[in-house]
């Protein structure tokens, strides 16, 4: 069990992995804040900033056409369905919670879709920041609306 701290797009990032793959990718204002917020999770992990899995994450985030690094997620079948569909939303694009619910064949499950987004433990690898409100408004994001806005702005400028 390993972790590393880094900076991606001017955001502090905590990446945690098990032998099976990436288990957490958290965003925060600073490395110190991430360490404080997740100290319980990190007690059983050793810091390793050079592990190849973390390099794969960085390469994927630079170029999302690369294969996604191995993930080790714990979610319900519904959450995993939502997360899988979110990965089909291209960089620089957005989708509404309603559209996402329709894509997975559950058009009335808009709130459950939003809840599944909030349970995502690997932020940038399952890009829930690309899911927006019905009128295109930027609302709700586990790591804060300001970070969501910055991520979307950067992706749209890069396209």
Extents of the domains making up the chain: 2-62, 77-158
Assess contact for 12 and 28: CB atoms under 8 A. yes
Taking 50 as the pLDDT cut, the residues of the chain under it are: none
Residues whose CB falls within 8 Å of the CB of residue 73, separated by 6 or more in sequence, listed in order:
23, 80, 83, 121, 122
Q: What is the pLDDT of residue 17?
A: 92
Residues whose CB falls within 8 Å of the CB of residue 113, separated by 6 or more in sequence, listed in order:
82, 97, 100, 101, 104, 106, 131
Active site residue 7: no
The catalytically annotated residue of 100, 128, 131, 147 is 128
Q: What is the pLDDT of residue 66?
A: 85
Q: Identify the CATH number of the domain defined by range 77-158.
A: 1.10.10.10
pLDDT tens, residue by residue, 26-39: 998 888 989 998 98
Q: How far is CA 110 from CA 4, 57, 98, 118, 120, in A?
A: 34, 30, 5, 13, 16
């Amino acid at each position: 069990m390993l972790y590393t701290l880094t900076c991606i797009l001017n955001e502090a990032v905590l990446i945690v992995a098990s032998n099976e793959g990436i288990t957490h990718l958290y965003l925060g204002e600073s490395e110190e804040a991430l360490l404080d917020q997740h100290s319980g999770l990190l007690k059983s992990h050793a810091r390793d900033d050079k592990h190849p899995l973390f390099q794969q994450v960085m390469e994927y985030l630079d170029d999302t056409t690369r294969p996604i690094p191995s993930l080790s997620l714990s979610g319900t079948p519904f959450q995993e369905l939502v997360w899988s569909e979110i990965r089909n939303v291209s960089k620089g694009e957005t989708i509404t919670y309603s559209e996402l619910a329709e894509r997975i064949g559950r058009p009335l499950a808009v709130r459950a879709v939003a809840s599944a987004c909030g349970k995502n433990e690997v932020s940038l690898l399952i890009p829930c920041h690309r899911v927006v409100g019905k009128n295109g408004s930027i609302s709700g994001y586990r790591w804060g609306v300001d970070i969501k806005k910055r991520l979307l702005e950067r992706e749209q400028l890069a396209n």
